[in-house]
Structure 1
């Protein structure tokens, strides 16, 4: 093992004298940068801005007496995510270092996060549910795989009911949905809605019906030619003008509408690239077997097209998740918006680095997780 590593280092990093010199210079640069960052993080940074305002970052002004509903939402999401991860990684061996790393991560969260005793117990319980859900997903892969998509879809109305209230629960106005809670909600709903609309637009652009084809082309090209911030302002200002006077859409719904309309156009072009990769012979063979056009598209064309453009689709989802930060410009206090309000607190004025590093870390964790899931899905479908 050690000899293999030394051979790899000698071959890739120290193969020639100038390659060795470049490697040493890069290591010195990395050491200098890392030392400066660590020195600032330990001696100069004021992380109290994160500890004091952690609840604002996560749930904003959501009523504290109703936090139990957000904990249930977190538990539902964590269990489904753990089961999904167990299904995807069922063929890989669960190593002791992986279990140790997960335990270490949970311990760090329990120690660092400024939570009360009850919240720490709830976080520990959710960690246990994640571990159990992952094991269930690994051991019952064949049984659970057909039900994963349906479970995620059914969880959406339950999560919205727990957050918004109604039907027996106390209602929570959308102006109290802030921080990471609003960011995840807006991103998830927009992704779920924009994907089927984008697929329909892609199919419409390749349709033989002139009206459908030209409508799809017109919509896609117009939306792609307008910046997202313009679409968001149009959704906030213009959309109510097309509705009856007694109907007023909530600001959150108008923000979702803007994200969906924008993302669907780009999603359509990604899917269209996959549709063009399907050879005409497969379509003709399917029709020769007696399948009608709808079955050909659903059973033959779309599965192969979507599989071919998984990286582009996930890239679009990641971009949509990051684009939710623009919602703060139109008055929605999501993660970036709540950061601005925290920076306005007198005792934390000028703490830009700490605040934006923290929210940047949050964005990176979610985006990188989506990327890893996409890579695993691509390998699984390729086998």
Structure 2
């Protein structure tokens, strides 16, 4: 008797695709089904007028408030103030310098992120060593024929990015050194690092900015003048490095003791052990915590308003006081929130991609 294998039947239509996903996640029981329907009804009831106001009834084109007649959002206000939101009070004829600096940064980051690009090591050296010098001369000027632009004219999204990028890049290596120092077997080094971390973690950032603005110049000679932006950068870096140190210390403690013992058995010195064995493993485990700290830093840059620096949120608040545009603060805050969300969400998604790529998680769920 001859048997023939029958072709495999396709899965039921109700278990795959959009219908299958809904049955599995939204309607997989009576309680979940009721909750889905109730929440869906409330969400639709809330979203419908919001979408109507933001998109359908909105005014998009014009150059004055007379163009806003539909009763929806007046995005004409954002268009009229867009340069100020992006560049602050930077001279308009010098915008190309800001654009060039940030385009170079974007190209370098994309170069490092893309998997197939060559010479990543050289690009990393350029980004960490050469690019900051180029960016400083482009933004500040007073050299190579460029007009000097004082830092009190910097503002908007460009100032927010300067504060965030410098704070992120400077706080990470300092946080690593503090974390290693806190775990050091030398009592003096360990005590200094513990005191530094606990003091900075116990003080609000707003206080740190006040102290950096008012008291930092007192520790230097009278003839040495410290720029207000530089004071803010120093305060933000020191404050954030304390939080970064604790994140890194958690990653170091997650490494099994066998890794340390194996490195010692190979005869590696302390720095060789940390650089070649321990730190690469710890940094992979710390990706979520590090990125979470970066996102918090990015949002905390809005506090520099209290020392007279106008980031994008401060520019929005100043624009709301313009008599020509009174009454359109909702559009201003929505635009600022959107800008913050774009950058924070991008960092979050890239960290998830990096986790998946380096297999740092213990779950296969996205």
TM-score (norm. length: structure 2): 0.86
The residue aligned with 2:34 is 21
Cα distance in 2 for residues equivalent to 1:8 and 1:314? 30
| Cα offset, 1:52, TM superposition | 0.5
The residue aligned with 1:165 is 141
8 Å contact kept, 2:196–2:242? yes
Compare CA radii of gyration and give the structure with the larger one.
2
Residue 44 of structure 1 aligns to a residue whose secondary structure is coil
The residue aligned with 2:230 is 253
Q: Does 1:357 align with 2:334?
A: yes
1:1-383 map, 5 Å: 3=14, 4-5=16-17, 6-41=19-54, 42=57, 43-87=71-115, 138=116, 141=117, 143-153=118-128, 154-168=130-144, 169-382=146-359
8 Å contact kept, 2:156–2:313? yes
Residue 170 of structure 1 aligns to a residue whose secondary structure is coil
Superposed CA offset, 1:118-160 (max 9, x none): xxxxxxxxxxxxxxxxxxxx4xx3x233334223223222122
Cα distance in 1 for residues equivalent to 2:263 and 2:80? 62
| Cα offset, 1:290, TM superposition | 1.9
Pair 19,281 (structure 1): closer, same or farther in 2 beyond 3 Å:
closer
Residue 119 of structure 2 aligns to a residue whose secondary structure is helix
Superposed CA offset, 1:5-60 (max 9, x none): 32232233223344323222222111111111022222422222201100000001
Cα distance in 1 for residues equivalent to 2:155 and 2:276? 41
Superposed CA offset, 1:349-372 (max 9, x none): 232211011000000000011111
Count of aligned residue pairs for this structure pair: 330
8 Å contact kept, 2:217–2:226? yes
Cα distance in 1 for residues equivalent to 2:267 and 2:31? 66
Superposed CA offset, 1:59-98 (max 9, x none): 01111111221221232123223323422xxxxxxxxxxx
Deviates more, 1:9-18 or 1:35-44: 9-18
The residue aligned with 1:99 is none
Deviates more, 1:358-367 or 1:74-83: 74-83
8 Å contact kept, 2:112–2:124? no
Q: Which runs of 5+ in 1 are unaligned?
A: 88-137
Residue 310 of structure 2 aligns to a residue whose secondary structure is coil
The residue aligned with 2:64 is none
Pair 257,21 (structure 1): closer, same or farther in 2 beyond 3 Å:
same
